[in-house]
Amino acid sequence: MISIEIFSDVVCPWCFIGKRNLETALSNLKAGGEKSENIELNWRSFQLNPQLPTQGIARSEYTSAKFGGEERATQVYERISSAAKEVGLALNFNKIVTQPNSSRMHALIYAAESAQKNHQLVESLFKAFFIDGIDLTQRDNVSSIAQSAGLERVLIDRVFDDDLFMDKIKEDVQQSSKIGIQGVPFFIINQKIGLSGAQPPEAIVKAVEQSL
């Protein structure tokens, strides 16, 4: 069994790129003889901006505070867009109007894990935010995405109304702090090897082979 824990944030573009690299690495591992049923992926929550209000803030305000202005933000996102294109992703930062607090989305990913739909939801949230420019501060939008990924409406409502799985988010925060994770994506392979950043597929494959 190969276990890979992925600390990630759905509003982190490098995490989207890292997901594509991981998928390529897993395909290469399977081609090399590893059976798909022997690979277990577990998505763990990490918030780049835990201080954001639940309603989010304007994207322009966010980029100004994070990068010190629009010019610097444009330079950073051009570099990220270039890296994304190399893995087949066409990110559209210009479509993003509001920067959300991602805590509820992480809770929904845990809800999806209980229904074995977490991988679909993670992909859908990445795509909605970075490609389609959907406002993830709006409950109806996030709920619609979760339902499309296969979650029942009653489970989604419990996440929003009853704080379901929010305890899991706190546990992940504590664990990431204990490990010393400062940036994502961060992969923990077989509880032995940690990889930080959107590592290329060959680096992930090598780490898996070393862990075995």
Span 73-95, pLDDT tens digits = 999 999 999 999 999 999 999 99
Average pLDDT rounded to a whole number, residues 159-176: 96
User: Residue 96: pLDDT above 70?
Assistant: yes
The closest of 194, 212, 187, 203 to 42, measured between CA atoms, is 187
CB 74 within 8 A of CB 33: no
The closest of 15, 1, 10, 11 to 185, measured between CA atoms, is 15
User: Residue 193: pLDDT above 80?
Assistant: yes
User: Residue 116: pLDDT above 90?
Assistant: yes
User: Residue 165: pLDDT above 70?
Assistant: yes
**Considering the entire predicted model, what is its pTM?**
0.95
pLDDT, position 35: 61
pLDDT, position 30: 87
Q: Among residues of the chain, what percentage have pLDDT more than 90?
A: 88
Average pLDDT in the chain: 95
Q: Among residues of the chain, what percentage have pLDDT more than 70?
A: 98
Average pLDDT rounded to a whole number, residues 46-56: 94
SS3 7: strand
- Name which CATH class applies to 2-211: alpha beta
List CB contacts of 144: < 8 A, sequence separation 6 or more.
Answer: none
Average pLDDT rounded to a whole number, residues 27-33: 86
What are the sequence ranges of the domains in the chain? 2-211
Average pLDDT rounded to a whole number, residues 15-43: 88
